[in-house]
Structure 1
Amino acid sequence: MELKTLIGEPWADYGLIDSGNGRKLERYGRYRFIRPEPQAMWAPATDDWKADAEFVPGSDEDGGGRWYYDQPVPADGWPLRWQEVTFQSSCTPFRHLGFFPDMAPVWDWMRERTADKAEAEVMNLFGYTGVGTLAMSASGARMVHVDASKKSVAQARANADLSGMADKPIRWIVEDAAKFVAREVRRGRRYDGILLDPPKYGRGPDGEVWRLEEDLPALIANCRQLLDADSRFLFLTVYAVRMSALAIGELLRQAFADLPGTVEVGELAVREEARGLLLPTAIWARWRR
């Protein structure tokens, strides 16, 4: 399979300013942040980085670390905008800032796939703070937003309020994603599209354990049962560096072998403003009609 690259371009409220030496400098609205980035193995455009805060990782390769602030940053976050969607960004304990900007080209692509389908039924699994859910809702889709974190779903609903979308047809589900999908299969439900952005490891609200390499094939198989020949897409992103785009592409190719359509694979990347180079962030595979 040919590898494709989906490129996140800078926009008014977000940009990758510079990168290198294992770090990246980004702007989120009026604030600038430095975060670790193992993929940035090159030298930065300049060593003169000025930021409001920096996340310094701990010694544990599986996580840890903390934010160090040079300037005051609102503890409860600040609003950002992507097209019609307004949402809250904030410095989380997990080095993220409340959304994943490299997903912007994915949101655009999903909207294109359902542009001619009135009230398309779309599910966002591992939906986090809901920016992708709201991007699809703004384009007219009926959404099901699923995340095991009550806090994340609460933030997603708050973002819907910020965007003036509180009355949109969105089902907010706090549940283990694999459990929910299996139940939807038993109910005989179908969807026009599914977005999956699973973590490498996670726990559900009732202590369910999610391990990407072990649990992804069964989840994909169940998602296939929710799609049919009239469905438009399934999009899977993976941030685990030990996996290959070709591997997850073959997983989808086999699962969707009985449906018409195309399986494609590739990488997500963000374009750096300083030099225009591409910083890879994740791998992806998708099925589309």
Structure 2
Amino acid sequence: GIWDKADALFTGDTDEDGMGRWKFPKAALGETWPMHLLGVDFHGRFTAFRHVGVFPEQLAHWSWMKEKVETAGRPVKVLNLFGYTGVASLVAASAGAEVTHVDASKKAIGWARENQTLGRMEKLPIRWICEDAMKFIQREERRGSKYDIILTDPPKFGRGPNGEVWHLFDHLPLMLDVCREILSPKAIGLVLTAYSIRASFYSIHELMRETMRGAGGTVESGELVIRESGPDGRDAGRALSTSLFSRWVSA
């Protein structure tokens, strides 16, 4: 069957933080392998918590952001919250943006910097910040910092470096309010993605509309999917839903 064709299988605990292991039915594979997307090089990696270092469905947002940065005709400041392995940050910076990347995991930031080195992008303007996202944006609001594009990909549940607790349903409205406060007067967009939650995309659509009320522009919401491609590389029709999203785009 189809499982026999797989290069790698993850077995074991599939909880978000559960430990499991990878099996390689054909040949033993190394821990990392090179990947390339939108002109950016990075490493895929087999981790004990099943992630491989990239969420390809996010490509929809990365392509949108790349185009916005390249056609802005002015310097663009991007804030990437819960930035994980930094692919979005590298895409934004290589398109010409000045990027601030925030993640509470030292390991994730290390991996992101490794990706930056892999693509020889050390000179690109990216600030890597290991901190609780909520604390960081509240401090940015007090400082009067402003960003043109904000990406936020909060987990359902998470902990900051000093044990700060994040609960998506409790904290999301406040997070979006603070994001609105730190959007620049000429802001381009605010993108929210939410994984593994039991909610309809309509609920986050309404929350985003409420957050951006009076700011003009439009709110688009829906699901991110990964499409299957056939042997000839063409779309074979099946789609795997991975995440909800809501995106405010200025007029």
- Give me the TM-score of the superposition, normalised by structure 1: 0.80
Alpha carbons 2:12, 2:20 under 8 Å: kept: yes
Distance 2:14 2:80 in 1: 33
Structure 2 residue 208 is the aligned partner of structure 1 residue 278: no
Higher fraction of helix? 2
Structure 2 residue 206 is the aligned partner of structure 1 residue 244: no
Worse-matched range after superposition: 211-220 or 65-74: 65-74
Report Cα offsets for 1:61-96 as digits up to 9, x if no partner: 874432223221112x12111121100111011211
Distance 1:226 1:61 in 2: 30
Letter in 2 for 1:257: R
Report percent identity of matched pairs.
Answer: 46
Distance 1:205 1:61, change over 3 A: closer
Match of residue 140 from structure 1: 96
Match of residue 188 from structure 1: 144
Report Cα offsets for 1:225-258 as digits up to 9, x if no partner: 0114410000000112302211111111111102
Q: Unmatched 5+ residue regions in structure 2?
A: 231-235
Letter in 2 for 1:283: L
Match of residue 191 from structure 2: 235
Match of residue 37 from structure 1: none
Alpha carbons 2:225, 2:243 under 8 Å: kept: yes
Secondary structure, counterpart of 2:139 in structure 1: helix
Structure 2 residue 50 is the aligned partner of structure 1 residue 89: no
Distance 1:273 1:59 in 2: 26
Structure 2 residue 26 is the aligned partner of structure 1 residue 65: no
Distance 1:182 1:60 in 2: 30
Distance 1:209 1:99 in 2: 24
Q: Unmatched 5+ residue regions in structure 1?
A: 1-45
- Shift of residue 278 of structure 1? 1.5
Secondary structure, counterpart of 1:190 in structure 2: coil
Structure 2 residue 160 is the aligned partner of structure 1 residue 204: yes
Distance 2:129 2:17 in 1: 28
Distance 1:61 1:132 in 2: 22
- Give me the TM-score of the superposition, normalised by structure 2: 0.92
Match of residue 63 from structure 2: 108
Distance 1:152 1:60 in 2: 19
Report Cα offsets for 1:127-151 as digits up to 9, x if no partner: 0000010011110000000000011
Distance 1:119 1:208, change over 3 A: same
